[in-house]
Every structure is written in C-alpha cells, then in structure tokens.
Chain A
C-alpha cells in the first residue's frame, strides 16, 4: 500500500473508532438529559405563557433554542465524523489509482483526511467557550473537504479507468 492509501485508511478507521466511542458516551451520559432539557424548556415556555408571564415564557423558549442548537451540533459531530470516516476508507482503497502523480495524491489524501477531521471538530467546538475557534475550523474544514472532493472527482473523470493510473 502507498502512503496515500495509509493516510486515508488509518485516519478513517481511527475516526470511526473514536466516533463510536463518542456515540456510546453521548448516548449514556448526555443525550437523554439534553432531550429532556429541550422538552422541559419548551413546555415551560407554554406554561409560563399560560400563567401570563410573557418575559419568563420568552426566556424559557430562548433556553429551548440554545439546548436544541447544542443537541444539533452534537448529533452532527457524531454523524459527520462517522460518514466522513467511511469516505476516507473508501477513497483509501483507490486513491493510488487516481490520475495524478504520487506527491499530488499524497497531498489530496492528507487534505481530505485533515478536513474530514477538522470539520466535525469545529461543529462540536461551537458549543461552549471556544465557539469562535469552532466556527473558523468548521468553515476551513468545509472548504478543505470541497476542494479535496473536487480534485478527486477531476482525477476520477480524467482517467477512464480510475484504478489504472498507478
């Protein structure tokens, strides 16, 4: 196996193991509490409104929005890391046959692996005090993923036989 294959397969399998561990941790220690928190906050908004306290109702709904955003980011982190890791392993099996030179293929592999790692991390970091850093990482990861995929698609389309350009 070439360097580019190893980069993608190793990082893909590492990511899949980590996202499974995260999924288990999250399901046991966080998800249930977050979902209950969302439901209670939204219900409180309606109950406070029924009691005539408009400010308290809006505050409860605002709290619901914050917990819902946190939940969305946690689920996106788990889901994106899982699916991006599958993509890394898939291209890890064929990247050495793309229609580029060896250094270019290694560069594409490194770029794809780094972006696939950084983007979901950026999504997760947007919860809490490092939100700005998380946003920057998510945007950079997105750009990196798009560029890497664009280069891969060009490499696939350039060669009629993608396995054949070693």
Chain B
C-alpha cells in the first residue's frame, strides 16, 4: 500500500489492495443482486402469492359450515407452502442486501484491521463465499425441502444457510479483534494505516450523505409512529378479524365483508412494514455510497448526477410503496421503477469503481 508523506494512507490507495477490492466488489454485487431479486419477487411472486393465500384461507373458512375438517387441513397445508415460498424470497432479498452492506463496510474498515495480509485475505475469501452462499441457500429452502436431510424439520438448504451465517458471525468477530489490536497498538508491523481523507468532500458524497441521513431520520420517525399506532391504539387486530370470520362461517353468513376487512388489515400491515424497511434500507445504502464516492472514477458532473438519481430513487421507493394503499398496481409499478433507477445508478457507480481499480493497476 502506498503511504503519503505524512505516513498516512491516501484514500484512493485503499482500493489498492486485493482484500479491499474483494469486499467492495462482493458488496456492491450482493446489493445489486438483492435489489434485482426484490424487484422480481415483488412483481412475480408477492402479489400472486398473496392472492393464493387469501383464496386458501377463504376456502378453509367456507368449509367450516359443512364440518369438512379434511378440506380445512388440506387448505392450511397449502397456505404453509405459500407462506414458506414468500418468506424465503423475502429473507433471501433482505439477507443478500444486508450482506452486501456488511461487505462494503468491511472494505472501508480494512486499513484499521490489525492482522497480517495473508490472514486478512483468507478471511476475505471465506467471507465472500459465505456471504454469497447465505442468500442463495435461503432462496433454495422452499425447493430443496427435506430431501435427503438427516433431520426431521431442517433441510440441507437451511443447514447451509445456518452454517454460512455462523461463519459470517465468526468473521465479524475476527474483524472486531483486529480493530481492537489496532487500537491497542498491539504491534505496528501489521497491514494497517490511517486514512487521509481528501481536503474537500466532493458534491456527490455530500448529496448522498445528507440525503441518507435525512431519509434515515424519516425512517426512524415513521417506524416509531407505526409501532405506536399498532401497539397503543384500539385498531382491530388479526385475531379479532379471524374470530369474526370463524363466527360468520359458523352462522352460515356471507364471508365477503370479513375477508374484505382481513385483506385490508394484511395490506395495511404489509405496506407499512415494507415502507419502513425500505426507507431505512435505502438510507443506509445512500450513506454507504457516500463513503465510497472517492473510489468512483467518473467525472464530478456524472458522479453528482448519479448521486441525485440515487437519492430521488431512494426517496421515491418507500413513497411509492405507501401510495399502493390508494393507487394499487400503478404505485407498485412506480416502486419497481424507483428500484430499477436505483439499480442503474448503483451499476454506474460499480462501473466507476472498476475504472478506478483499473487506473490504479495501470499506475
């Protein structure tokens, strides 16, 4: 690693290590893949699956007046499979993005981790394998099932996901120890250095940093308001609505009004949860991208343009999700478009990152 005259590591040189590049590329790749999966999941799986679950619950309730318990149990088995399908897709999306965030953060932290280069490289390679394995394993849980599993309830895909998660926790603990050694000045011959920040922060970083911080505060406020509303108001909860469905079925009354209430409740909960999660998730992405702007080898004008597009898309995504209450699929399309715009901006920054490493290599 090249040091400056003051003995510090210039920020552009942070990328001049195989280890940091490995984390950075793995991180941006995972974030992009996770977002792409989220978009595909929302369009092709989430809405059709919700409709199937609603239909199955309706069919189970309709079987109550006839006392057909076999039919009820059959419908609930189907519901279990639909829920597992949906749940594993959501988890693969969120874990892929979260592992991407973690990888980028570890890339930025590398100069402060006091281990030998060989140790850091081995940990980085193992981390990349596990970080990519985790969302893929979660995604395949629904399809692999319990085939050839030695356990009663847990299949091979779950075992792979758990093993990857456990290994990542160990790798984070190794980084923690490395940071501790750095701060304790344990030894001074490790592969570490202080980062010398540029004298002026470029416009793109400022746009992303301010946008991310404001969005994060809004996300916190929204989450607190939603939690307060659902915890401390007397709004009808799921058990009340299900009890009403059961009562109507036993009295052989129409189930339509109860199921309209149930659908409304599930939509309210799902949309609010998704809006809160995406507000915070996109805010974290903006903050991360603000930190890696010095590594992006594009002109200042284009960096600012991509940063503005990123901030607008990050704000538009949760707003579009919220608008689904009123505008349904139109707002859903807006949310997907916002996600796509964010992915394009992210891909442009990844391109700039690749150009930077190419330039460093040619030097």
Chain A residues in the interface with B (C-beta under 8 A): 1, 6, 9-10, 13-14, 16-18, 20-21, 23-24, 27-28, 32-33, 35-36, 39, 42-43, 45-47, 49-52, 54, 57-58, 61-62, 64-65, 68, 79, 82-83, 86-87, 89-91, 93-94, 97, 142, 145-146, 149-150, 152-153, 156-157, 160-164
- Using CB atoms and an 8 Å cutoff, list the residues of chain B in contact with chain A: 60-61, 63-64, 66-69, 72-73, 76, 79-80, 83, 94, 98, 101-102, 105, 108-109, 112, 153-154, 158, 161-162, 165-166, 168-169, 172-173, 175-176, 179-180, 183, 197, 200-201, 206, 209-210, 213-214, 216-217, 220-221, 224, 227, 237-239, 242-243, 246-247, 249-250, 277, 280-281, 284, 287-288, 291
Pair count A-B, CB < 8 A: 163
Cα separation A149 to B212 with both chains bound (whole Å): 11
CB–CB B161/A27 < 8 A = yes
Q: In the complex, which of the residues A18, A42, A54, A156 contacts B209, with contact meaning CB atoms closer than 8 Å?
A: A156
CA distance A93 to B195 in the complex (A): 10
Inter-chain contact B166/A20, CB cutoff 8 Å: yes
How far is it, in angstroms, between the C-alpha of A51 and the C-alpha of B73 when the chains are bound?
Answer: 13
Is B220 a contact of A13 with CB atoms below 8 Å? no
7 A-B contacts (beta carbon < 8 Å): A13-B175, A86-B102, A87-B287, A93-B291, A142-B224, A145-B220, A149-B217
B176 to chain A, nearest CB (A): 5
CB pair A162 B239 closer than 8 Å: no
Beta-carbon contact of A6 and B183 below 8 Å: yes
Q: Is the Cβ of A13 less than 8 Å from the Cβ of B176?
A: yes
* A82 CA to B288 CA, complexed, in Å: 15
Instruction: State whether B101 touches A86 (Cβ < 8 A).
Output: yes
